[in-house]
Chains A and B, each alone.
Chain A
């Protein structure tokens, strides 16, 4: 029988939850790295026991942890993230140019073919890669050539938070940065171009159609149609049918098109999920009702999913890396909240239950489906 493992990063440690394929009874293991902020934990799709964890602290900086036994034991590996060459500059909040300065790793994206190769998206925004299981890291500096001098931090920092590999073409990689936008490489990350045509930031940018500067929150793709990308932007839910060459809005009947994560059903490439948040100044669900919205049409027509979710007095947020799906049938959907709950649906979103409810604020959720 299949099992499911959930890798959870929180403000005060990492947790690993596991269940059989029924997904009713969950074991909670943790905290790992107690007291540290764990921005992200992700497994290699090639070797599911190989995990990478980003362990960070405002006091003590960045530590990278690697496990070769699914989180039973960990070892600190390389934590030196040196920008290539003399650091150039980007805009700061006040518009003044400041040099790139490493702060933390936001996200890992392990290679689809090599368990020792892993990408890391960092703040200040840049893409790094390790070819030796995280022992050493090298920047792919071409990304910062994509108008990096015009990038500026969002409220969460100038972070590279999304990395997507095209499963059919290992040289095609997508990234997203707040508040810079989306970017694409056709040569394995050596060179990049912004792919933000069609994004509109009427309230955030002097030029609402600017080539860079858009506050992209998250992008998702289904492996079976890698030219179709779904984006949760600061405001607006967007879609591209041409691998990011252009985008169009699919917010449709959402009660708010502000939000952070977006996810795609494992077996239905046009079924997508978002969690609407009231606004950029009120980071909680509209009307105190925690509702996941599902579109089975690839956008525009959305259905509220509420069964098992609190429908009054709920004022948590769901961060951009805190929603993921398993690959069982029916598909399981999981998300974590800043209130420390992790909700799961074992029926593609029709009904939900909290599988753990008193963790520290959840920063990230990843799911492994194991046979």
Chain B
């Protein structure tokens, strides 16, 4: 199982906890992870990336093992620690406030 940490608004929308586990078929890429996430939680479709273009929404970032992978190719393999569930993929909303 792959671990995913969601921002507050999204885990409340999906009625989960902050961290969830999803099953993702290999090869584990950002795209395949997001596909699995949206299949399991269809209410999240459109909230992380565009329905059609699949482009990441501008104020969303993806962090893997302490690295910002938001601008990496979506079909690149995610780090082993993500793929084996040792570390969560973090989906982060841009900081708001002053």
Q: Which residues of A contact B (CB under 8 A)?
A: 34-36, 57-63, 76, 79-80, 82
Q: Which residues of B contact A (CB under 8 A)?
A: 7-10, 12-13, 43, 45-48, 51-52, 57, 59-60, 93-94, 96
Other-chain contact of A61, B7, B57, B96 (Cβ < 8 Å): B57
Residues of A within 8 A of B52 (CB): 80, 82
Chain B residue contacts of A60, Cβ below 8 A: 7, 9-10, 13, 47-48, 57, 60, 93
B43:A59 contact, CB within 8 angstroms: no
- Number of A-B pairs whose CB atoms are under 8 Å? 44
Query: Do A59 and B9 have beta carbons less than 8 Å apart?
Result: yes
> How far does the Cβ of A8 sit from chain B's closest Cβ, in whole Å?
20
Contacts of B8 in A (CB 8 A): 35
Report the minimum CB–CB distance from A35 to chain B (whole Å): 6
Residues of B within 8 A of A61 (CB): 46-47, 57
Docked Cα-Cα span, A193 to B93, in Å, equals 42
Residue among B7, B51, B60 facing the most chain A CB atoms (10 A cut-off): B51
Tell me whether A63 and B43 are in contact (CB under 8 A): yes
Contact check, B46 vs A57: say whether CB atoms are below 8 A apart.
Answer: no
Q: Can you name 12 extra interface pairs (CB under 8 A) apart from A60-B57, A63-B13, A80-B45? A: A57-B9, A59-B9, A59-B59, A59-B94, A60-B9, A60-B10, A60-B47, A63-B43, A63-B46, A79-B47, A80-B51, A82-B52
A-B contact pairs, 14 of them (CB 8 A): A34-B12, A35-B9, A36-B9, A57-B47, A59-B7, A60-B7, A60-B9, A60-B13, A60-B57, A61-B46, A63-B47, A76-B13, A79-B47, A79-B51
Judge whether B9 and A79 touch: CB under 8 Å: no
B7 partner residues in chain A, CB cutoff 8 A: 59-60
- Docked pose: A34 CA to B49 CA in angstroms: 22
Least CB distance from A60 to B in Å reads 4
**Cβ contacts under 8 Å, A59 to chain B:** 7, 9, 57, 59-60, 93-94, 96
Contact in complex: B51, A82 (CB < 8 Å)? yes
> Is A76 within 8 A of B43, CB to CB?
yes
Which A residue's beta carbon lies closest to that of B48?
A60
Shortest CB distance A138–B (Å): 14
A335 to B96, CA, bound (A): 29
Least Cβ–Cβ distance between B6 and chain A, in angstroms: 10
- Please give the distance in Å from A43's CB to the nearest CB on chain B: 22
Give chain B nearest CB distance to A13 CB in angstroms.
Answer: 11
Chain B residue contacts of A80, Cβ below 8 A: 45-46, 51-52
B13 / chain A contacts, CB cutoff of 8 Å: 60, 63, 76
Residues of B within 8 A of A82 (CB): 51-52
- A-chain residues with CB within 8 Å of residue B94 when the two chains form the complex: 59
Cα distance A198–B43 in the bound complex, in angstroms: 45
In the assembled complex, how far is the CB of residue A53 from the closest CB belonging to chain B, in whole angstroms? 13
CB-CB nearest 7 A-B residue pairs: A76-B43, A60-B47, A59-B59, A59-B93, A80-B51, A79-B46, A61-B46
Q: How far is the CA of A60 from the CA of B44 in the complex (A)?
A: 9
Given A63-B13, A80-B51: A58 and B46 within 8 A (CB)?
A: no
Instruction: Give the distance in Å from the alpha carbon of A58 to the alpha carbon of B93 in the complex.
Output: 10
B44 to chain A, nearest CB (A): 9
Cβ contacts under 8 Å, B59 to chain A: 58-59
